[in-house]
Structure 1
Amino acid sequence: MNAGSEIVPFELLHLELVAQALNDTYLDIEKLESIGYSAGYRIVEKLAREGPKFKDELDLLKFICKDFWGAIFRKQIDNLRTNHQGVYVLQDNSFRFLNRVSGDRQYLEASPKFVSLTCGLVRGSLANLGVSAVVTAEITSLPACKFQVQVQRA
Structure 2
Amino acid sequence: MIHTYTPDDYDAKGQLTLPLGFWAVLLLQARTWVLFAAAAASKQQSASLLELFYPDSRVFWTGLGLGVPAALGLLLTGYRQRFPRLWCAWRGVLCLTLLTTLLVQGIALWLGEEDLSPLAILFSGFDLLALGYLWLNQRLHDCFDPARNAG
After TM superposition, is the score higher than 0.5? no
The answer to which structure has the higher strand fraction is 1
Higher relative contact order (CA 8 A, sep 6+): 2
> Could you state the TM-score of these two structures normalised by the residue count of structure 2?
0.31
The answer to which structure has the higher helix fraction is 2
> Could you state the TM-score of these two structures normalised by the residue count of structure 1?
0.30
